């Protein structure tokens, strides 16, 4: 039976998807340092914004991030549909002496909460990290957040980007094909291909949780990922304005007289241009900014994503050939096109494409053990993760706002 929502998928899982298993305060403080850096330096939001803020969070899982908002002084109103996460979250708040900041914890999904019609104009800040792109129709959550936020409230989203998701789609393609060729089960195939890659960087979750959350998750697919161009436009239609994003969607080099209010449609045009020129930056997780938008490049990149995605379901050799052609074209584009990119980053992206091409050639030829050995040893493959996850903070301007920023 097809899954209705991401939380149905987690309900039957052995593990909780993002459980960090914090043992003591040092673990929490380490994590808080990382979140502080993210908010202060990448999202331009000072943690002091959260002091005594009424904060609504939906889908926190075990609540590591919620605890950080509580540490920063937020009153947390939490909705998490997966009841198995509740005791862990409650125990965390108790152990770290934050329970006075946990104002409520309800077991509802977004659709149930949205249709309750509760909490109009109640919150200073709302948070939905790691699942919102799986909820359909998007209009439902956009209208809900527009309703429950106060004027000048902020909405913090963590979503999956279509172009940034390329590398993850490719992992899924490799994983499926290796299972098909060798008969290995999912975890054994994942360990054979990805264990060296996984061990090369530190993580807060287990390898098994990553396999479940990325390689096996039916929602980690092109059809669910958002295009930030679409997201910014749709949010504008619902009355929101982009506050900040990581990677940035704003043209930081734009200059105009500080007293001139920038109309929302002009800001949106800058954001769309910045996003479109950074498709490759998002794909490779480093700066590869094109000087101009290029419709043909975007059309071919989109085709590459779609073909890679379709190979996850069925490994068809003709499709694999089309995928290889597009990958060779992309490698050449990186080598030849003038871009705002450090030479070392270009070299890394070119090597990454070279390694993905080699892997797909092995898979196309049915050479599973060669593909496994290559994935375990190839430096470029081991070092490339892409940028699947994007942060975006949206501002709900007041009804009488003169300058909607
Ligand atoms: C990948 S986890 C992210 C957890 C946490 N927000 C984070 O970023 O670390 C996704 C969470 O969203 C919840 N979730 C999934 N679908 C949901 C829905 N339709 N409504 C509300 N929560 C949902 C899941 O139960 C899970 O706790």
For residue 190, how far is its CA from the centre of ligand 1 (angstroms)? 24
For the Cβ of 168 lying below 6 angstroms from any atom of ligand 1, the answer is no
Distance 339 CA to ligand 1 centre (A): 37
For the CA of 11, the closest atom of ligand 1 is: 25
Beta strand 75-79 pairing with 54-58 = parallel
pLDDT over 70 percentage in the chain: 98
Nearest to 388 by CA among 193, 180, 225, 195: 225
Is there an atom of ligand 1 within 6 Å of 55 CB?
no
Q: Give the three-class secondary structure for 76.
A: strand
Range 243-263 average pLDDT: 91
CA distance 85 to 64: 11
Range 6-159 classified under CATH 3.90.1150.10: no
Q: How far is the CA of 272 from the centre of ligand 1 (A)?
A: 28
Alpha helices in 85-240, H assignment, sequence order: 86-95, 110-116, 138-148, 166-182, 186-199, 207-210, 228-237
pLDDT tens-digit map of 146-181 = 999 999 999 999 999 999 999 999 999 999 999 999
Nearest CA to ligand 1 atom 17: 7
DSSP-assigned letters across all residues of 136-157 = S-HHHHHHHHHHHEEEEEEEEE
pLDDT of residue 20: 85
- How many C-beta atoms lie closer than 10 Å to residue 93's C-beta? 20
Parts of the chain belonging to CATH 3.40.50.150: 6-159
pLDDT of amino acid 3 = 67
Question: How do 102-106 and 75-79 pair as beta strands?
Answer: parallel
What is the pLDDT of the chain when averaged over all its residues?
94
Pocket of ligand 1 contains residue 80 by CB under 6 Å: yes
Ligand 1 centroid from CA 255, angstroms: 39
Does 256 score more than 70 pLDDT?
Answer: yes
Q: Are 376 and 196 in contact (CB under 8 A)?
A: yes
Instruction: Note the pTM of the prediction, 2 decimals.
Output: 0.94
CB of 20 closer than 6 A to ligand 1? Answer: no
Is 105 touching ligand 1 by the criterion CB < 6 Å? no
2 or 185: which leads in pLDDT: 185
pLDDT per position as a tens digit, 277-319: 999 999 999 999 999 999 999 999 999 999 999 999 999 999 9
Q: pLDDT tens-digit profile of 181-214?
A: 999 999 999 999 999 999 998 887 789 888 998 9
Is 215 a residue whose pLDDT tops 70?
Answer: yes
Question: What's the pLDDT tens digit per position in 6-22?
Answer: 888 887 777 788 888 89
Q: How many Å lie between the centroid of ligand 1 and the Cα of residue 134?
A: 10
pLDDT digit string, tens, across residues 349-380? 999 999 999 999 999 999 999 999 999 999 99
Predicted confidence (pLDDT) at residue 38 exceeds the cutoff of 60 = yes
- As to burial, measured by CB atoms within 10 angstroms (0-12 exposed, 13-18 middle, 19+ buried), residue 66 is buried
C-alpha dist (Å) from residue 279 to 108, 282, 341: 36, 5, 13
157 lines ligand 1 (CB under 6 A): no
Give the model's pLDDT for residue 404.
43
What pLDDT does 116 receive?
95
Size of the chain, expressed as the number of residues it contains = 405
The string of DSSP codes covering 51-70 is TT-EEEEE--TT-HHHHHHH
* Closest CA relative to residue 276, chosen from 251, 252, 256, 254: 251
| CA gap 357, 172 in Å, rounded | 15
Of the candidates 149, 131, 43, 150, which has an alpha carbon nearest to the alpha carbon of residue 85? 131
């Amino acid at each position: 039976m097809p899954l209705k929502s991401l939380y149905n998928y987690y309900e039957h899982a052995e593990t909780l998807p993002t459980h960090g298993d914090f043992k003591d305060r040092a673990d929490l403080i380490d994590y808080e340092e990382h979140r502080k850096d993210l908010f202060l330096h990448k999202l331009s939001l000072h943690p002091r914004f959260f002091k005594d803020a009424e904060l609504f969070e939906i889908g926190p899982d075990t609540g590591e991030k919620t605890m950080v908002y509580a540490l920063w002084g937020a009153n947390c109103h939490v909705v998490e549909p997966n009841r198995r996460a509740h005791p862990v979250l409650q125990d965390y708040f108790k152990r770290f002496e934050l329970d006075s900041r946990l104002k409520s914890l309800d077991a509802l999904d977004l659709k149930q909460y949205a249709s309750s019609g509760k909490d109009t104009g109640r919150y200073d800040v709302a948070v939905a990290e790691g699942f919102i792109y799986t909820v359909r129709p998007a209009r439902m959550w956009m209208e809900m957040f527009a309703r429950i936020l106060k004027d000048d409230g902020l909405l913090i989203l963590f979503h999956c980007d279509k172009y940034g998701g390329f590398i993850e789609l490719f992992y899924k393609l490799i994983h499926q094909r290796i299972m098909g060729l060798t008969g290995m089960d999912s975890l054994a195939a994942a360990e054979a291909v990805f264990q060296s890659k996984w061990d090369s960087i530190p993580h807060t979750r287990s390898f098994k949780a990553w396999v479940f959350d990325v390689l096996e998750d039916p929602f980690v697919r092109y059809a669910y990922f958002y295009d930030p161009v679409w997201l910014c436009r749709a949010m504008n239609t619902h009355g929101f304005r982009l506050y900040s994003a990581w990677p940035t969607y704003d043209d930081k080099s734009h200059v105009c007289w500080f007293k001139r209010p920038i109309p929302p449609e002009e800001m949106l045009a800058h954001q769309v241009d910045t996003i479109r020129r950074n498709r490759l930056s998002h794909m490779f997780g480093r700066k590869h900014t094109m000087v101009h938008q290029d419709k043909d490049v975007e059309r071919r990149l989109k085709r590459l994503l779609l073909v890679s995605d379709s190979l996850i379901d069925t490994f068809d050799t003709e499709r694999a050939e089309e995928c290889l052609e597009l990958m060779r074209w992309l490698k050449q584009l990186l080598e030849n096109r003038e871009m705002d990119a450090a030479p070392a980053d270009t070299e890394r992206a070119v090597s990454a494409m070279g390694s993905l091409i080699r892997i797909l050639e092995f898979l196309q030829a049915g050479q599973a053990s060669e593909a496994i050995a290559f994935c375990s040893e190839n430096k470029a493959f081991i070092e490339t993760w892409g940028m699947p996850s994007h942060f975006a903070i949206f501002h709900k301007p007041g009804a009488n706002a003169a300058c909607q920023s």
